[in-house]
Amino acid sequence: AQTVTQSQPEMSVQEAETVTLSCTYDTSESNYYLFWYKQPPSRQMILVIRQEAYKQQNATENRFSVNFQKAAKSFSLKISDSQLGDTAMYFCAFLLMNRDDKIIFGKGTRLHILP
């Protein structure tokens, strides 16, 4: 069975700083996707970034980038130039490619951006 672990329950950083959220996962499969989702107080989950395991290049989306280390089964999210609107819960998630379509989520990291 696949598992996703986020070891940082809560983090706080000053506005404009860079912050890195950690995620590790466990799987015996080779083909999968990894995601970072943001959940603001509105509760609506928003996809931040997606990484295909077969791609060596790390995904980036504006201020958001990942450090994907497949051998180490690590998938961290870096937020550069953090903004107050980045305050939210962040969930790391895993999905086997072309299998059961069930996304498995970690327990989340609550991120506070301080003014």
Partner 1 sequence: GAGVSQSPSNKVTEKGKDVELRCDPISGHTALYWYRQRLGQGLEFLIYFQGNSAPDKSGLPSDRFSAERTGESVSTLTIQRTQQEDSAVYLCASSLASATNEKLFFGSGTQLSVL
Q: Is 28 in the site for partner 1 (CB under 8 A)?
A: no
Tell me the C-alpha distance between 111 and 98, whole Å: 32
Q: Is 71 in the site for partner 1 (CB under 8 A)?
A: no
Stretch that binds partner 1, among 17-25, 55-63, 71-79, 103-111 (CB under 8 A): 103-111
Tell me the C-alpha distance between 63 and 73, whole Å: 23
Tell me the C-alpha distance between 48 and 38, whole Å: 6
Tell me the C-alpha distance between 62 and 42, whole Å: 23
Report how many residues bind partner 1 under the rule CB under 8 A: 24
- The answer to whether residues 92 and 104 touch, using CB atoms and an 8 Å cutoff, is no
Question: Looking at beta carbons only, is 56 or 102 nearer to partner 1?
Answer: 102
Q: Which of 20, 25, 7, 43 is nearest to 103 (CA)?
A: 25
Binding to partner 1 by CB under 8 A, coded x per residue (else -) over 40-59, reads: --xxxxxx--x---------
Q: Is 64 in the site for partner 1 (CB under 8 A)?
A: no
Amino acid present at 35: F
Question: Looking at beta carbons only, is 39 or 80 nearer to partner 1?
Answer: 39
Residues that bind partner 1 (CB under 8 A): 4, 6, 33, 42-47, 50, 91, 95, 97-108
